[in-house]
Amino acid sequence: MMHHVLGNLHDTELWASYLPRVPKPMIRLAIAGVALAGGAGLGLASLPVLRAVGITLGALLILPALAAGIFAVFKWRYALSRRQQILDKVAWRGDESVLDVGCGAGILLNGAAKRIKRGKAIGIDIWATGGGGGNYRLLMDSARAEGVADRIEFKQADARQMPFDDQAFDVVMSSGALHHISHNREDHARAVSEMARVLKPGGRIVLWDIAHMIDATAGKLRETGIEAETQAAGSYLGFEMRLLAGIKTGQAQAPLAHSDDAHEHSHPHSHADHAFISYH
């Protein structure tokens, strides 16, 4: 049941937008509810029972917009806190070339654009069904709202096969995209390999995602010559989250003990055949 609800919710603008937005249909319902309840309360309905029905129906029409508004504000405050935590892992000079993998509505992309004085931050996404509900219009609306529309660039591209040269970016980052990309071990390995490939020597990588996905990714990155450290990042929708911060040194490291088993043991719903199935 929860999987079905989350799957449908993921494809809505209410979920996709990190800025507080209430869907227009809900706003229209709320306006109709105010009109109905107001008219009934002012005595436009002659019978007391009709007034009571009018006020009750009006309140019911208002409730969805009210609930959506509360959810949107909560999500916005949480998203901004998460963004600051991620971006603060980079010691910004202001001239970095930045890539946001799975940029969605642009929460990291726009935040990074605010921290660079020259150049542009680039975001990639394919906005797959069940992958967060974003789209280009929502991305640009968010960028304009944050005043960075002229400092971002978007490319529709698959994280498993990026259209960029080797060592193209000073910073590679991603927030909550890995578990959407990594449907199986091969997809995960390809995406992680691509992130490492496009990162410059000395470049920084910062990732936020479900704990078992971050643990597995850290092991893969270490094998590519990226020193990666992880830390707990609270919980989200009942999932344990982790934050990864790394630097590309070019010196491959041996995998940590049990890193290959992280998928099977770190997530309550994971097992050998479905290690990369997540909640989307």
Q: Which of 21-25, 93-97, 108-112, 130-134 has the lowest mean pLDDT?
A: 130-134
Among residues 73, 124, 136, the alpha carbon closest in space to that of 99 is found at 124
Mean pLDDT (the chain) is 81
Of 13 and 271, the one with more pLDDT? 13
Query: Is-contact 242 89, C-beta < 8 A?
Result: no
| Mean pLDDT score, 121-150 | 86
| DSSP 3-state of 199 | strand
**pLDDT value of position 273:** 34
Tell me the backbone φ, ψ of residue 38, rounded to 5 degrees.
-65, -45
Q: Which residues contact 120 (CB under 8 A, 6 or more apart)?
A: 113, 151, 152, 153
157: pLDDT strictly greater than 90? yes
Classify domain 89-274 by CATH architecture: 3-Layer(aba) Sandwich (3.40)
pLDDT, greater one: 247 or 61:
247
For the chain, what percent of residues have pLDDT higher than 90? 49
Residue, of 45 and 164, whose pLDDT is higher = 164
Give me the residue spans of the domains in the chain: 2-80, 89-274
Residue 127 has pLDDT above 50, yes or no: yes
- Of 28, 26, 135, 14, the C-alpha closest to 72 is 14
Mean of pLDDT values over 12-16? 64
Q: Of residues 188 and 183, which shows the higher confidence score?
A: 188
pLDDT digits (tens, 9 = 90+) for 197-252: 999 999 999 999 999 999 999 999 999 999 999 999 998 888 999 999 999 997 76
Given a cut of 70, whether residue 275 has pLDDT beyond it is: no
Tokens 């578990």 sit on residue: 179
